[in-house]
Amino acid sequence: MTLHQNLIAGEWVGTDGVANVNPSNTNDVIGDYARASADDALAAIAAAKAAFPAWSRSGLLERHAILKKTADEILARKDELGRLLSREEGKTLAEGIGETVRAGQIFDFFAGEALRLAGEVIPSVRPNIGVEITREPVGVVGIITPWNFPIAIPAWKIAPALCYGNTVVFKPAELVPGCSWAIVDILHRAGLPKGVLNLVMGKGSVVGQAMLDSPDIQAITFTGSVGTGKRVAAASVEHNRKFQLEMGGKNPFVVLDDAELAVAVEAAVNSAFFSTGQRCTASSRLIVTEGIHDRFVAAMAERMNGLVVDDALKAGTHIGPVVDQGQLNQDTDYIAIGQQEGAKLAFGGELIARDTPGFYLQPALFTEATNQMRIAREEIFGPVAAVIRVKDYDEALAVANDTPFGLSSGIATTSLKHATHFKRNAEAGMVMVNLPTAGVDFHVPFGGRKGSSYGSREQGKYAAEFYTTVKTAYTLA
C-alpha cells in the first residue's frame, strides 16, 4: 500500500502510516497516510517561519500562477478527486465531485485576488501629511480542519492564506487525510517554494496541540467542534495570536402556513439529510406552523421513503453512510434520547445493512418535539431532524433564535413581509429564503454568530480581514 507522507520544508517525510478506511465499505482501504509527531509539527512550524520573509515579499504574478495552476488541476481531476472524497468521507459521488469543483473555484477566485491587492490613500486631518493604509500578511498561519468537507474547507483556508503572502502549517482531520494530501501535492508541484506550505497529518491531541502551544504561529484558523474550538481560543489568547473559529450549529428551518409545500419539503430534506446530515449548516430543527404541520410531516415521510441510502459511490444513492462508528453511535444515542424525551420517531432511525460493511443509518424524523429537548438543543451531526410545531410566525422566529448557535437559518414562505422580517431578525450569519440552510456560494462571506463562530468571516473578499494585518503609514509631504 502506498504511503502518503507529510510535507515539511519541501520534503516528503514519514515512515509509519495509518489506514484510511472507506465508510461505505470498511474492507476497502484507500491508502496509508503518515502520522506526524509533535516534533514533526515543530519542524513544520520552523520551516514555515523560515519561508515567511521571502514568500511575504513574493511577486503577485508568482502567487497568482501557483494558485491558478492548482485551480486548473483540481478542476481537471474533479471526477477522480471527487471519487476519493466520497470514498474517504462517505458523501455521494455527486456531492464529492461538487465539493471538488468548489475547491477548484476557490483557488481560482484567490488566484484573481492576488492581483487585486489594494490599499487606500487618504488625506490626513493635518496639513501636508499623507496617509496610506495597506494590508500585510500576518505570518505563519496554522490551519486545522474537520472531516466533513475534506477538500472545500482546506481550500478555503489555504488559498487565501497563500494569496495574501502567509506561510502555512496545515493539519487536516485524521479521518480524511486523502483529499488534503492531494491538494498539498498539487500545490507543491505547482511550484510553491520550500516551507511555504507544510502538511502535518496526525492526531489533534498531538499535532494540533503542538500548533496551539507554539509561539511561532501568528494566526490559527479552525473549523471543528465547539470543545476543540474553545481550546484553540484559550491557547491563542495565551499567545496573543489572531484566531478564527467556525464551530457547531443547530440550524432552524421554519415552514410557514403560506409556504409552497413542495419547495418546503425539498429544502427541508436537503437541509436535514443530504451529505448524511453531516454539514455544519444542516438543519436539525424543522419549525412548522400548525396550519401546514400535518401536510408537511406526511409529505416529508413520503419523500424520505424514496431516499436511497447506500454506498456513496453507487449510482442512484441519495444518502451515503455515516462517517465512522463513533459518529454512528452518537447518532443512534440521540435517536434513543429523543424517544426517551417523549418525541415521536415518525420515520427511519434504524441501522440498515447493505452489500458491503458500512455505517448505514436510515435518516430519522422526529415529530412532537419541543425546543427544550436535547435533540433540539445539542448538535447531533447526523441525519436526524426534529419537527417542532408552533402557532404562528412570531413563535416560529422566537423558537428559531432560541439556541446557543447562530450559523445558518432558513424559512419557507411566500410572504414577502415574513421573508423580509426573518432576514432582518434571524440571529444567524447566513439566512436562506425558500432554500436549504446548507449550500453556499464560494465568493461571498461564510460564517456565523453566537456560539457557532468567532472572529472575522471566511471566503470571498472578506477573507482578507483574517489573513492580513492593517498598517497605517503617515508621510510628511
User: What residue ranges bind ligand NAD (CB under 6 A)?
Assistant: 144-149, 171, 173-174, 204-205, 208-209, 212, 223-225, 228, 231, 246-249, 280, 379, 381, 407, 452
Residue closer to ligand NAD by CB (options 191, 404) is 404
Which residue's entry shows cell 511561532?
Answer: 216
Residue closer to ligand NAD by CB (options 271, 413) is 271
Known catalytic membership, residue 179: no
The minimum distance between CB 419 and ligand NAD, in angstroms, equals 24
3-state secondary structure of 379: coil
The minimum distance between CB 436 and ligand NAD, in angstroms, equals 15
- State how far the alpha carbon of 346 is from the alpha carbons of 267, 300, 301, 335, in Å: 19, 10, 8, 11
The minimum distance between CB 71 and ligand NAD, in angstroms, equals 22
Residue closer to ligand NAD by CB (options 70, 408) is 408
The minimum distance between CB 349 and ligand NAD, in angstroms, equals 21
The answer to whether 410 touches 401, Cβ cutoff 8 Å, is no
The minimum distance between CB 246 and ligand NAD, in angstroms, equals 3
Residue closer to ligand NAD by CB (options 229, 348) is 229
CA–CA separation, 236 and 250 (whole Å)? 26
Strands 219-223 and 197-199: unpaired
Residue closer to ligand NAD by CB (options 165, 447) is 447
Q: How many CB atoms lie within 10 A of CB 304?
A: 24
Q: What angle do CA 215, 231, 167 make, to 5 degrees?
A: 40
Residue closer to ligand NAD by CB (options 205, 329) is 205
Phi, psi angle pair for 26, to nearest 5° = -70, -5
Please report which helix (H) or strand (E) contains residue 183, including its range: helix 177-189
Question: Which value, in Å, is the radius of gyration of the alpha carbons in the chain?
Answer: 23
3-state secondary structure of 200: coil
The one catalytic residue in 113, 174, 246, 379 is 246
Cα–chain-centroid distance for residue 184? 18
Sorted by sequence, the CB contacts under 8 Å of residue 422 that are 6+ apart come out as 254, 397, 409, 411, 413, 431, 433
Residue closer to ligand NAD by CB (options 24, 214) is 214
Residue closer to ligand NAD by CB (options 237, 308) is 237
For residue 384, give the nearest of 283, 302, 316, 460 by alpha carbon: 283
Q: How many CB atoms lie within 10 A of CB 34?
A: 24
Known catalytic membership, residue 280: yes
Q: Give the three cell numbers for residue 162.
A: 497563500
Residue closer to ligand NAD by CB (options 305, 329) is 329
Residue ranges of the alpha helices (H) in 325-386? 325-341, 374-377
- State how far the alpha carbon of 449 is from the alpha carbons of 246, 352, 429, in Å: 9, 37, 6
Q: Please list the residues that pair with 136 across neighbouring strands.
A: 469
The minimum distance between CB 220 and ligand NAD, in angstroms, equals 9
The minimum distance between CB 379 and ligand NAD, in angstroms, equals 6
Q: Give the three cell numbers for residue 186.
A: 498539487
The answer to whether 453 touches 285, Cβ cutoff 8 Å, is no
- State how far the alpha carbon of 350 is from the alpha carbons of 346, 353, 385, 409, in Å: 12, 10, 14, 28
The one catalytic residue in 113, 280, 379, 458 is 280
- State how far the alpha carbon of 180 is from the alpha carbons of 200, 201, 227, 476, in Å: 10, 9, 23, 49
**What are the catalytic residues?**
246, 280
